[in-house]
């Protein structure tokens, strides 16, 4: 049996603008998706999701499903890609389970895809690099999100804190975030990242002269946040997050519930608060000094379905457990 895991992500600044090649900063956080793979003798692949209670079985060229098995198509795609790279056939039962709420802006689909590519690489005994795992997960993300920037699969694979730019890849920020806490509050309103990205692109195409400078501002803001993080100036980071929230409202991805969450967080002492991820629903992220967290989390709990106080996950994709037939091998 093999168990692999990958962390959730929080975009600190730059979502949406990152799709048009502006930079963005993302953190990996300690909520994980896990993929469990059990080899079977027959050449048969059985994929299931614990969270969705669905299953898809591919055996002798026949496909049978249970429940809303469509949500498993990115995982099946990863199965095909890894089998193609390995150039051999193996039968397995693969189960995914996730602590990350789906459609909440925390990269649940990317984390599941990254954990799956990692687990299958181990099953086929092919030494996939982090870059290959991230690229395979990106192919799966394309099924769910249309034209993703690639930031979600990248941060979930590598962990830590990164500055990402679509055309250039990423650099790791070696910053000390120990004085602060990341608070996530879920609006409880589901939404589709692909649909939100399309909506923003439509607005940009309609008003290019108005929105091009705003995109440029968003990119500039990300550079300022990276400097403030390196200086350990979290007050400045918070102020810039608030400006970033204004830019996201301007491109139409906020709503009354998200505004409420953002303002409750700020009023109760957050250094800054903004939408995180695609918006239109999903979550907000607030940054706070450790001493202020309890008050902010309690205020948010009154208006949010789910509140998390999270630590940065230094490690990205990893093998949690591996037990070969005659060889117990735990990590």
Q: Is 304 in the site for ligand MEV (CB under 6 A)?
A: no
Stretch that binds ligand MEV, among 46-54, 149-157, 227-235, 302-310 (CB under 6 A): 149-157
Pick 37 or 196: Cβ nearer ligand MEV = 196
Give the torsion sign (CA, 73, 129, 105, 310).
positive
Can you tell me which of 6, 7, 10, 15 binds ligand MEV, judged by CB under 6 A?
Answer: 15
Where in the sequence numbering do the catalytic residues fall? 152
Alpha helices in 89-192 (DSSP H): 108-123, 130-145, 151-158
151 forms part of the interface with ligand MEV (CB under 6 A): yes
Among 49, 149, 244, 254, binds ligand MEV (CB under 6 A): 149
User: Can residue 148 be called a binding residue for ligand MEV (CB under 6 A)?
Assistant: yes
Residue 157 or 193 with smaller CB distance to ligand MEV: 193
Position 16 contacts ligand MEV (CB under 6 A): yes
86, two tokens: 């390995």
CA distances 293 to 290, 310, 329, Å, are: 5, 11, 40
Q: Is the CB of residue 100 less than 8 Å from the CB of residue 17?
A: no
What are 33's strand-pairing partners?
6, 98
C-alpha closest to that of 44 among 6, 92, 3? 92
Structure tokens given for 327: 């060889």
Site string for ligand MEV, 181-200 (x = CB under 6 A): ------------x---x---
For ligand MEV, the closer CB: 31 or 69:
31
Binding mask 220-259 for ligand MEV (x = CB under 6 A): ----------------------------------------
Is residue 94 within 8 A of residue 82, CB to CB? The reply is no
Position 19 contacts ligand MEV (CB under 6 A): yes
Q: How far is the CB of 188 from ligand MEV (least distance, A)?
A: 18
Angle between helix axes 130-145 and 151-158 (nearest 10 degrees) is 140
The greatest distance separating any two alpha carbons of the chain, rounded to the nearest whole angstrom, comes to 65
Report, in Å, the least distance between residue 279 CB and ligand MEV: 7
User: Cα 221 from chain centroid?
Assistant: 21
Beta carbon nearer to ligand MEV, 56 or 137:
137
H helices of the chain, in order, are 73-86, 108-123, 130-145, 151-158, 193-206, 208-231, 234-250, 256-267, 293-301
The residue among 148 and 238 lying less far from ligand MEV, judged by its C-beta, is: 148
Query: Which spans of this chain sit near ligand MEV (rule: CB under 6 A)?
Result: 11, 15-16, 18-19, 107, 145, 148-149, 151-152, 193, 197, 277-278
């Amino acid at each position: 049996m093999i168990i692999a895991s990958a962390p959730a992500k929080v975009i600190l600044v730059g979502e949406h603008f990152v799709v048009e090649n502006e930079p963005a900063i993302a953190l990996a956080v300690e909520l994980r998706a896990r993929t469990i793979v059990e080899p079977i003798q027959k050449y048969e692949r059985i994929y299931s999701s614990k969270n969705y209670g669905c299953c898809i079985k591919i055996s002798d060229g026949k496909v049978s499903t249970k429940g809303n098995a469509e949500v498993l198509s990115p995982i099946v795609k990863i199965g095909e890609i890894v089998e193609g790279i390995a150039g051999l056939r193996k039968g397995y039962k693969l189960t995914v389970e996730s602590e990350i709420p789906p459609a909440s802006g925390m990269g649940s689909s990317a984390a599941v895809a990254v954990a799956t590519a990692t687990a299958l690489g181990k099953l086929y005994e092919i030494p996939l690099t982090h870059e290959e795992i991230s690229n395979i997960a990106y192919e799966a993300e394309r099924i769910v999100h249309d034209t993703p920037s690639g930031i979600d699969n990248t941060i979930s694979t590598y962990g830590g804190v990164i500055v990402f730019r679509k055309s250039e890849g990423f650099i790791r920020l070696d910053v000390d975030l120990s004085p602060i806490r990341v608070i996530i509050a879920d609006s409880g309103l589901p939404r589709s990242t692909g649909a939100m990205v399309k909506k923003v692109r439509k607005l940009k195409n309609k008003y290019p002269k108005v929105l091009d400078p705003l995109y440029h501002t968003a990119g500039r803001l990300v550079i300022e946040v990276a400097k403030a993080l390196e200086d350990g100036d979290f007050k400045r980071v918070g102020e810039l997050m608030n400006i970033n929230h204004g830019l996201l409202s301007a491109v139409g991805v906020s709503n009354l519930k998200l505004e409420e969450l953002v303002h409750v967080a700020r009023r109760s002492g957050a250094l800054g608060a903004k939408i995180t991820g695609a918006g239109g629903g999903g979550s907000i992220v607030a940054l706070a000094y450790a001493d202020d967290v309890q008050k902010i989390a309690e205020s948010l709990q009154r208006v949010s379905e789910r509140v998390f106080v999270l630590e940065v996950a230094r490690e990205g994709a990893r093998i949690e457990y591996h037990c070969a037939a005659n060889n117990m091998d735990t990590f």
